[in-house]
Structure 1
Amino acid sequence: MRMPSFNRSIAISATLAVGLLAPVVALGQEVFRHTVTGEDLKIMETSQPSGRDTEAVRNFLNTGVNPYTEVKEHLAKGEETFLSACSGCHGHFGEGKIGPGLNDSYWTYPKNKTDKGLFETIYGGAQGMMGPHHDLELDEILTVMAWVRHLYTGPVDEADWLTAEQKRTFTRFAQKHKDDDTACSGQTFEHADAANHDVKPEKTAC
């Protein structure tokens, strides 16, 4: 049966609207690439189905900025995942072990100073023993990234992942008891004040 011209016009308009909108949505999402090869990581095709529909993940995929950075309620989860998935190579506090350190201002891959770059290296892997972490949910990776940033001990003005406001309030992480793996348990550790570099004992900011 032939569709009335009025209804056909509505249908055509709706189709055009969807067709025009789809590229806009696609263009709004960041393209994440392998740290070494530059290949498209095809995040939505290769990531775990669970944990990728959170508000934080949607925000990150569109901006490349981790919304969990220095958000206290996500640090404990990030620490837990880091200890089980990353500390064997990078040390309990990111000090480096058989893999490079993650808690100072030197980055093997300079792009890791950005949230997008660090995510690409964690998710897609890099050289040597650094394999991909497709086994982690995207939301878990964001919490791990937040914990890695929390472990930072370098100059605050070089912490490009922090906002101006976060830089004003950030305290560099310095662990007194290197053998203690409960950094988010509320125990007392040494922190260096970002403004005057005085070292003072206080509880972790978890």
Structure 2
Amino acid sequence: MAKPAKQKQRPSSDAPEKATEGKARSARTLLMAALVLSVASLGGGFVLARIAFQQDAASFAPDYVEDTGAEGEQTAHGEAVPKDAGPAAGHGAQGDADGEGAGSEGILQFEEIVTNINGFDTNGRPTQSFLKLNLVLVYRPEPGATALMLTRQPFMRDLFTGYARSLTETDVRGMAGVLNVKAELLKRARAAAGNDLPREILISDLIVQ
């Protein structure tokens, strides 16, 4: 009798799936290893950077120790100031070098200016009114500025009075008029002083009646 032909054994369908699972496992293993190495390298870099920062900070540390004992304290400029010198020592003594007090420094008071100005009534006829002006000059507080401003004050007042006499009621009306008057007075103050030490004109009273 003829022997039946042997059937070829078909490959199992589970083989490709097992191969795919093996590849996925090896890929996950490699990914985990890469993550571990990355974390380790970051941690090592942080530690090295911190050590380097501490070394740099130590290299910039001051190599002196301030002496706050019985001999006195040091000012910001390194000058020793005795403890019993009081708060006026150190920086407070600089006022003597300037030669001028700081009480009224930068402010120049003027006496009241009263003059006649021209105007017009409701019918257009010319009228005369009184202008009363009280002002203060603010100047830059430089050494010697106070003496110069006091010397030039009479000339400033003369220019102020002459300008006030040329005004009309329309010139001093409203905020725009006041600002224009201040600008013109400042211009004349600088002309009388011969420099730009005058910085601003402060008007306390500007009355027309």
TM-score by length of 2: 0.23
Greater relative contact order, per chain length (Cα 8 Å cut-off, separation 6+): 1
TM-score by length of 1: 0.23
Structure of larger gyration radius: 2
